[in-house]
Amino acid sequence: MQTKPKRNTTNSTNDSPSLLRGGGREEGFRPVTEPFVPERTSGLSSYPPPEQWDDWTELDARAWPERVEKHYQIVPTICFNCESACGLLAYIDKETMKIRKLEGNPFHPGSRGRNCAKGPATINQVNDPERILYPMKRSGPRGSGQWERVSWDAALDDIAGRIRAALTEGRQNEVMYHVGRPGEDGYMERVLQSWGVDGHNSHTNICSSGGRTGYAFWMGIDRPSPDYANARFILLVSAHLESGHYFNPHAQRIIEAKMEGAKIAVMDPRLSNTASMANYWLAPAPGTDTIVLLALANQLIQHDLFDREFVRRWTNWDEFMAVLHPEIEPTFENYVQILKETYAGFTPELAAAECGVAAQTIVEVAREIGKAGSAFAAHTWRAASAGHLGGWTVPRALFFLNVLTGSVGTPGGTMPNVWNKWVPRPFAEPAKQKVWNELTWPKEYPLTHHEMSILLPHFLKEGRGKLAVYFTRVYNPIWTNPDGFTWMDVLKDEDKIGIHAALTPTWSESAWFADYVLPMGHGPERHDSLSYETHNAQWVGFRQPVMRVAMERMGQPVALTRDANPGEVWEENEFWIELSWRIDPDGSLGIRALYESPYRPGEKVTVDEYYQWMFENSVPGLPEAAAAEGLTALEYMRRYSAFEIRKAPERQFNDTIPAAEMDGANTQPNGVIVSPSPRPHAPNVVPMPGMPPGSMEGRAVGVVVDGVPQRGFPTPSGKLEFFSRTLYDWGWPELAIPCHIDSQVAPSEIDASNGEMVLLPNYRIPTLIHTRSGNSKWLNEISHSNPLWLHPSDAKRIGVDTGDMVRIETEIGHFVDRVWITEGMRPGVAACSHHLGRWRLQEGEGNERWSSALVDIQQTEPGVYKMQQIHGVGPFESDDPDSSKIWWQDAGVHQNLTFPVQPDPISGAHAWHQKVRVVKAGPTDRYGDIAVDTNKSHAAYQRWLAMTRPAPGPNNLRRPMWLLRPYKPDPSAFALDGPVGRRERQP
């Protein structure tokens, strides 16, 4: 019998709003004007009260023992060092007008005043003597390191002219914006769609494409939002407590649950800090996680520990029966019988044999999950889903456990993320682009969740296209991606990339190969609106330039943010407004009109006006909460930087559709309800499956369940899809239900007798964040090496001890690193953090000297490269006296250069896990050595490409129309014979 959770929240199901309807109801808001004083702990409730934020007094520690008062303005903003978007308070010295420190913002609903080490370290980034303060233009060959200062006007005019030419000459697909960490919601979508280009590219297929795909096939929504705080059992397939997605907001709630008695299981071949806090550490062989999860599911199924009623009502079991078992009477009982037969082979003994997880552990964890029932929270994001071929089957199998336990949208369960997120609309939204860019969305990958970013250099090498203007922003493809030397080759080639503008606060390996380096602000120097599913609530955050706000509070008007930032450092919001204006100065392209003020017709919109309109018109409850304090909505957000719209919007799929909304709607044979009216601005609008391209004559608004019209899920069936008709119809019928795929690192692929091992190169550490923390002296003092983790048995076999050097041989080359021997590693598996190994090509510039080694790169024959470290990190002279006191020498080792691209043929996710040989370093090997043959990497690309099953799918589409796609084009662009690269005039 199903065991129900012991705790409930006070929120009712019926007053929850529905994002699936494209907007929220107005009732039930609980505006928050009180700090988030933690309920279960004490000691974190002492923050400066907001009424003293204009003049906060502290004693100057440096003046001790004198009691000298310092007066500060406190301005809230939002951290930009990871995707958690925690709140920060900037303390601005009123005498010097410098930021003194950054601490947590208690008014932020996600972080509640707490931060990790990277939040306060933002001050290092602001004061970094190595940062770029002025726009720079290349004055020699690309990559030669010759630069000259250039004015913003000159840079803007040059770039705008090239974009205008591309647009007017029908070369829309030659304009590309490639972003690493967006850190905002919707702004760039508006910009790129205003230009009519399909030019967005992202880092996502080296990150979360696999995780998203597994969730999207289930529910049409690609992210989970676990309600950790109320969970009874938590299953994490990753290191969420120390470095996961929404790390600090999640970590504090996981620990709260643990303090209330919840149990935690962690799956990871590495004993992470997270695993060390868990009740169960499961360390399956890489590539076998799905088997473990399906074994857990099988225990629930065979022992009737699943929520039958939830599965009956909310999964498309009937479609599964009709398509795959037409010979059997389609009753739910017959389905359950087939379910039991289908998964019967996933026994605890199989998991023990294939994965190395004890059979008894499978039985115990399954019992705990069954006991937790609807209060079972689970999450995966990168980890295994970004590790191997078929990684997307991991989240699919994990969410199967949520479905079986009915823990979808429940207190303590796991929500679709859109219920815990709110994206405000901007004014004057542009039409969707009517072009499709095959450089990012190629025919071979019709189901890829995001752009095939890592394949761009291979596509350019093959002559599939070229770029006139290529922007990189918070993105360092040479360093971050696999196969970096191929990126370097292509970035240097002016025939393939006409102009490369790097929008970045700091130098990086890739910015060195740009034409323009345009300095953009750090977190406290820019505007962004954002909202993330940090917990079971909906909130909107406002990142703002704190010096600008402080100056304005003191009566000094600031026209542009760069007037308040250091040097000529700007912010993207204003940059894109100005660039768009210059692309279409006379308004003939229809672009300029979208950048005219909603309040001053014909005049250029200001950043204040942009957010004023958004906060007044598109954040429910905010204008009222602001008015209660005598503020406008914008003033409120400038004062607090975050607003909680509502708490605990649960079970929205269960909402009954009001009769008025059913007017004119018709119900399809499968129960899906279709409304005749298009609603272009609604999030998660589901075009009807098979809807003819160009048609928006209808949208799915719900599904009839037991005779009642309900919201359902944005999938073709309106339900959670145990059976994916999409996979079935698009060439993958064998993967249509949750299943396991043998991968490139499956145990059967590893010849241990030949010294082969699996390398996990993609784990994070808590104190660094990709390539964005190389500019923090505090963080690099804490963490500056990435040794290879080895189990003692492997170290003994290889003949090395901690500190010895090894050569790690990959398919395309090798790298040399030191080893760290630990029993916290599964035997046969090695691990190396991806955060370290930064480098530069010139002594005094080109990258942060807090964190980078000086290297020499040699091309020994066509496509064959060697990189050697000349020296590591060391003291240097700068305006910061600390730079002369650097005591560490290590910069780590850049392992990503030695990996080929390995894109999953369905999700498009790069499979980071590598089959390697680890051998003792030879006499000529030196620490940090890299050797790569890019000819081999191109052959690896072709091998993985051959695994794909290209479009078209049904109706000659290049992609299923219902699947999520960032920057989704107009439906007409989905037809395989539709316009590619040419822009039709927007209506």
Interface residues with ligand SF4 (CB under 6 A) are 79, 81-82, 84-86, 111, 115-116, 118-119, 247-248
Q: Residue 531 Cβ, how far from ligand SF4 at the closest point, in Å?
A: 14
Which is nearer to ligand SF4, 137 or 772 (by Cβ)? Answer: 772
Write down the H helix ranges in 653-713.
659-662
Which lies closer to ligand SF4 via its Cβ, residue 84 or residue 414?
84
For 682, counting Cβ atoms within 10 Å of its Cβ (0-12 exposed, 13-18 middle, 19+ buried), the class is middle
- Compute the radius of gyration of the chain from its Cα atoms: 27
775 close to 131: Cβ distance less than 8 angstroms: yes
Q: Which is nearer to ligand SF4, 645 or 779 (CB)?
A: 779
CB of 181 to ligand SF4, least distance (A): 11
Rounded Cα distance, 963 and 55, in Å? 51
Which tokens go with 230? 């109320």
**Between residues 125 and 652, which has the closer beta carbon with respect to ligand SF4?**
125
Q: Which is nearer to ligand SF4, 248 or 934 (CB)?
A: 248
Nearer to ligand SF4, 118 or 527 (CB): 118
Closest CB to ligand SF4 among 118 and 270?
118
d(CA 152, CA 134): 9
Q: Other C-beta atoms within 10 Å of 130: how many?
A: 23
Of 242 and 890, the one with the shorter C-beta distance to ligand SF4 is 242
Regarding beta strands 467-473 and 497-503, do their DSSP bridges make them parallel or antiparallel, or are they unpaired? parallel
Reported as half-sphere exposure (CB side, CA atoms, 13 A), residue 264 has a value of 28
- For ligand SF4, give the closer residue by CB, 247 or 479: 247
Q: Angle CA(287)–CA(343)–CA(357) in degrees, nearest 5?
A: 40
Could you tell me which residues come within 8 angstroms of residue 115 by beta carbon, excluding any fewer than 6 positions away?
79, 86, 88, 103, 104, 248
- The CB-of-882 to ligand SF4 minimum distance in angstroms stands at 21
- Residue 301 sits at φ, ψ, to 5 deg, of -70, -50
Q: Which is nearer to ligand SF4, 715 or 762 (CB)?
A: 762
First-to-last alpha carbon distance for the chain, in angstroms, is 58
Q: How far is the CB of 41 from ligand SF4 (least distance, A)?
A: 18
What is the number of helices (H) and of strands (E) in the chain?
Answer: 27, 34
The span from the CA of 16 to the CA of 29, in Å, is: 10
Joined tokens for residue 749 = 């692929």
CA distance 28 to 647: 9
Report d(CA 619, CA 186) in Å as an integer.
14
Which helix (H) or strand (E) segment is 68 a member of? none
Minimum CB–partner distance for residue 111 and ligand SF4 (Å) = 6
Nearer to ligand SF4, 108 or 910 (CB): 108
What single DSSP character describes residue 145? -
How many residues does this entry show for the chain?
987
Measured CA distances, 758 to 20, 356, 579 (Å): 42, 15, 47
Nearest 5°: the CA angle 625, 108, 180 is 120
Cβ at position 117, least distance to ligand SF4 in Å: 7
Q: How far is the CB of 87 from ligand SF4 (least distance, A)?
A: 8
Report the DSSP pairing between strands 497-503 and 708-710. unpaired
Upper half-sphere CA count for residue 49 (Cβ side, 13 Å):
3
By C-beta, is 534 or 726 nearer to ligand SF4? 534
Which residue lies nearer to ligand SF4 by CB, 120 or 330? 120
Vertex 678, ends 672 and 684: CA angle to 5°? Answer: 65
Which tokens go with 393? 């089957």
Amino acid in the structure at residue 232: R
* Residue closest to 731 by CA, chosen among 924, 964, 398, 954: 954
Which neighbouring-strand residues pair with 470?
176, 500
Give least dist CB 713 to ligand SF4, A. 30
Helix axis angle for 187-195 and 572-583, nearest 10°, is 10
**Which is nearer to ligand SF4, 81 or 744 (by Cβ)?**
81
Cα–Cα separations (whole angstroms), residue 724 to 320, 409, 556, 729, 813: 8, 21, 59, 9, 39
DSSP state of 952: P
What distance in Å separates the CA atoms of residue 105 and residue 736, rounded to the nearest whole number?
46
119 or 969: whose CB is closer to ligand SF4? 119
